[in-house]
Amino acid sequence: MEFNPDQPGQAAGLVLWMDKDAHVTLSVRGADVAGEQELVFKCPTSDRSFKVSCSLSSRLVWIFSLTDCLFQETKFKYGSDSGPIEFGIRASKASYEFWFKCIGDAKKTSVGRVETHLFQPLFTGVHIGLYAQGAGGSPCLTPAYFKYARWEVAAC
């Protein structure tokens, strides 16, 4: 992906999505200092405040509720001269591990892991997607270039 945000808060990257309160992102985002950018891993807090509960109503309909979703961010240095970046998620039964790799680097850098049980109960499952978004109610008019998206079955 290549993205050079021209406003603080504009972001583009990879998302693991269940709903607006239950998601994890890895993105390039415009920093508070004009012209600078940062690599951001955003995930639910680890204090178990990110929980989904469900109940069965008298009409046999599942009712889901999400309680107190708080997010934490981990920021990594990423300069505008770093060039294209590759994002990835390695999924297992126990967790989703997020990583990035700058083009030309030999090694992937793991940025965080989220336990799969935090995304329960799954009705439609989680979705993996690419995104670009504006900030402060303004659209992002700066293009994000995604060269490809690929799905692979990882060795167990």
Domain locations in the chain?
2-145
Query: What distance in Å separates the CA atoms of residue 7 and residue 29, rounded to the nearest whole number?
Result: 9
The per-residue pLDDT for range 11-51, each reduced to its tens digit, is 999 999 988 778 899 999 998 887 789 999 998 775 544 34
Mean pLDDT of 119-148: 87
Residue of 36, 116, 128, 120 lying closest to 87 (CA atoms): 128
Helices (H) then strands (E): counts for the chain: 0, 12
The per-residue pLDDT for range 95-105, each reduced to its tens digit, is 899 999 988 88
In the predicted model, is pLDDT for residue 116 greater than 90? Answer: no
- Cα–chain center distance at 11: 11
In the predicted model, is pLDDT for residue 58 greater than 50? Answer: no
141 to each of 7, 16, 36, 96, 149, how far by Cα in Å?
10, 23, 17, 31, 22
Angle at 91 between CA 89 and CA 96, to 5 degrees: 70
What DSSP state is assigned to residue 147? -
- pLDDT confidence tier of residue 52, bands split at 50, 70 and 90: very low
Query: What distance in Å separates the CA atoms of residue 86 and residue 77, rounded to the nearest whole number?
Result: 15
120 to each of 18, 23, 109, 123, how far by Cα in Å?
9, 12, 27, 8
For position 133, what pLDDT does the model report?
94
User: pTM surpassing 0.85?
Assistant: no
Query: What distance in Å separates the CA atoms of residue 30 and residue 106, rounded to the nearest whole number?
Result: 26
- Output the CATH code of domain 2-145: 2.60.120.200
Query: What distance in Å separates the CA atoms of residue 122 and residue 4, rounded to the nearest whole number?
Result: 35
